[in-house]
Amino acid sequence: MNNILHHGYLDNEMKLLAGNSNPLLANEIAQHLGVPLGNIFVGTFSDGEVRVNITENIRGKDCFVIQSTCSPVNQNLMEMLVMIDAVKRASASRITAVIPYYGYARQDRKDRPRVPITAKLVANLITAAGANRILTMDLHADQIQGFFDIPVDHLYAAPVLIEYLKNNIDPESVAVAPDAGSVERARGMARRLGGLPLAIVDKRRPEPNVAEIHHVIGDVIDKHAIIVDDLVDTAGTLCLVAKAIKDAGAKSVRAVVTHSILSGAARDRIDNSPIDELIVTNTIPFVGEFKSKKLTQLSVAPLIAEAIRRIHSMESISSLFIE
């Protein structure tokens, strides 16, 4: 790759360093870039403390640390922080934290007394560890970008999801926002799928992982509904939304979700729900033997790889999403 002089450093070589959170995605990103993963050991001491050892020279290199902060969240977060510190102390020229899934993002505001804003705390930790910039995908709330005092490149999985849907969509479809916070995301998906109508589910959340569905706003009768959301955790809320839509007269229900946390009884809930297909990406690996005939997984590796290439060569990221 061409040498690029920028702000006093020479980033003449890209280095990809991956933690243990999502090795399949990291390898796929490396394959798309034609760059091997760097030599790094990420393990633990006997008491569980994270141990990192970079076994090659990265002095002056443009380093990308790839790590989703998914389950086990605290372990993967700590791995990323220690990796960034190790890369910084190895005299890398620039460190980009590539975080396909940004954990703790649901705690992004003080919505009741005496609770933390953990999304901001994690942003502070990543910055303090030594990251120079962040590359992430489909944050739970766009304003989390402002929690960082370093540049944030925010990717959207929409192009990958839309490409799949365009080849698998019925003309009588409707995009559905599962709550008020998802309206902009669902509206954007509806527009890019040819101007689909939009419906909104009136959902209240009295406590975490608990939802109350009141009614569906919009026409879903005899329509093929497509629920659009950023993540699915226990799938309890998603299944309730799907049932409400089906009860309101929809012919079928599909869901497109970027981050598939799929914890607890998620598999059984999905299999026993009115959801005909759950379309997710591989920002988070499937845990254990998670399998469901309703599940379709799409890869965001080409999109992340192209973003990394553009960051390295100082090209525009936003142009990836301009129609």
Element (H, E) at 88: helix 73-89
Task: Tell me if 31 sits within 8 A of 44, measured CB to CB.
Answer: no
Could you tell me which of 153, 148, 321, 182 has the C-alpha nearest to residue 255? Answer: 182
| Residues 256, 199 within the same domain | yes
Report the CATH number that the domain containing residue 9 is assigned in CATH.
3.40.50.2020
Domain that holds residue 223: 158-299
Phi/psi of residue 54, each to 5°?
Answer: -90, 120
| Residues 130, 267 within the same domain | no
| Residues 178, 276 within the same domain | yes
Could you tell me which of 132, 136, 102 has the C-alpha nearest to residue 119? Answer: 102
Could you tell me which of 33, 42, 2 has the C-alpha nearest to residue 306? Answer: 33
Residue 204 zone, left/alpha/beta (φ > 0; ψ -120 to 50; rest)? beta
What distance in Å separates the CA atoms of residue 323 and residue 320, rounded to the nearest whole number? 8
What are the structure tokens assigned to 146, written together?
A: 């402002």
| Residues 151, 207 within the same domain | no
| Residues 147, 165 within the same domain | no
| Residues 294, 312 within the same domain | no
> CA angle 267-270-274, nearest 5°?
165
What are the structure tokens assigned to 245, written together?
A: 């839509």
115-124: long-range contacts at Cβ-Cβ below 8 A with a sequence spacing of 24 or more?
119/144, 119/147, 120/147, 122/69, 122/77, 123/147, 123/148
The per-residue pLDDT for 238 is 93
What distance in Å separates the CA atoms of residue 83 and residue 212, rounded to the nearest whole number? 41
| Residues 112, 136 within the same domain | yes
Which positions are catalytic?
203
pLDDT digits (tens), the chain, 323 positions = 444 444 434 446 999 999 999 999 999 999 999 999 999 999 999 999 999 999 999 999 999 999 999 999 999 999 999 999 999 999 999 999 999 999 999 999 998 899 999 999 999 999 999 999 999 999 999 999 999 999 999 999 999 999 999 988 888 999 999 988 899 999 999 999 999 999 999 877 666 656 667 689 999 999 999 999 999 999 998 999 999 999 999 999 999 999 999 998 998 999 999 999 999 999 999 865 566 789 999 999 999 999 999 999 999 998 888 65
Is the Cα dihedral 184, 98, 26, 32 positive or negative? positive
> Is-above-0.85 flag for pTM?
yes
Task: Tell me if 235 sits within 8 A of 253, measured CB to CB.
Answer: no
Other Cβ atoms within 10 Å of 169 Cβ, number: 16
| Residues 270, 163 within the same domain | yes
| Residues 117, 237 within the same domain | no
What distance in Å separates the CA atoms of residue 134 and residue 80, rounded to the nearest whole number? 12
In the chain, the number of structural domains is 2
Report the amino acid identity of residue 9: Y
What distance in Å separates the CA atoms of residue 114 and residue 137, rounded to the nearest whole number? 29
| Residues 45, 100 within the same domain | yes
What distance in Å separates the CA atoms of residue 174 and residue 85, rounded to the nearest whole number? 47
User: Under DSSP, is residue 286 helix (H, G, I), strand (E, B) or coil?
Assistant: coil
Residue 61 zone, left/alpha/beta (φ > 0; ψ -120 to 50; rest)? beta
Please spell the DSSP secondary structure of 136-203, one letter per residue: EES-SSGGGGGG-SS-EEEE-SHHHHHHHHHTS--SSEEEEESSGGGHHHHHHHHHHTTS--EEEEEE
| Residues 173, 78 within the same domain | no
| Residues 143, 211 within the same domain | no
